[in-house]
Amino acid sequence: MIRLSLLVPAALLALAACGDGGPADDHAHAEGHVHPASAVAAKPAGEEQQALVVLSDAPMQDQTGAERHLKSDVIGQKIVVVDFIFTSCQTICPVTTALLSQAHGQLSDIPPETLAFVSLSVDARVDTPERLAAFAEKHDADWTFLTGDKPVMDEALTWLNAYATNPENHAAMILIGDASTGRFSRIYGMPDPAFVERRVRELVAARSDDTSYHQH
């Protein structure tokens, strides 16, 4: 298990190098949307924003090498926590994964049919399924990691406003939302496990309160 007390200070110092710069270039969003440079500028850690999320359904690979589809297979109608990593990252990515592992453990009472955690590679050229498997095991991350052909991953990341030309400049952020409603939030900086747990439980409770919700 990673020692957060040692890694967090180092990761905070390295945040500018691995994660708060946002995408390096403007990239067209799905359905014709474009994010201007000001929209992807560095955000304060912990800031939460509503997010327009378009999920790719192109074929990817998980850490076992199996073909997976982010939209229809991995997420479907679930509540989901999504983060963005690359396996050679030595700063933010290991800490983010360890923090999400803590949140994942705190949410173990929610069945996998309802909740999914997903990590998307931002370095498809390097991140093979084998490397993702080793990264997940090292950081005690018992959820789905996805990689794939670079054009496929680049498009998927662009649609999530998470693309960066250089993986080391990818935005430090996570997405939390309910795919059944299409409502997502984008949270910048390293995730607070208590916040992640609270937000997920709020989404679960909202489903219970919505008498029109039926999971198919």
pLDDT tens by residue, 149-199: 999 999 999 999 999 999 999 989 999 999 999 999 999 999 999 999 999
Please report whether residue 53 resides in a domain.
yes
Q: Model's pTM, two decimal places? A: 0.79
CATH number of the domain enclosing 72:
3.40.30.10
Please report whether residue 215 resides in a domain.
no
* Residue 132 host element (H or E): helix 129-138
Closest C-alpha to 178, from 49, 53, 11, 30: 53
* Domain around 170: 4-33+47-209
Please report whether residue 38 resides in a domain.
no
In the block, residue with structure tokens 């370095």: 123
Asked if 79 contacts 116 with a C-beta cutoff of 8 angstroms, the reply is yes
In this structure, the dihedral spanned by the alpha carbons of residues 19, 25, 28 and 30, taken in order and rounded to 10 degrees, is -10
Contacts of 11 (CB under 8 A, 6+ apart): 91, 92, 94, 95, 190
Asked if 173 contacts 79 with a C-beta cutoff of 8 angstroms, the reply is no
Residue 23 has pLDDT above 90, yes or no: no
Please report whether residue 177 resides in a domain.
yes
* Residue 67 host element (H or E): strand 67-69
Task: At 189, give phi and psi (nearest 5°).
Answer: 85, -170
Q: pLDDT, tens digit, for every residue of 65-108?
A: 999 999 999 999 999 999 999 999 998 999 999 999 999 999 99
Q: How many domains does the chain have?
A: 1
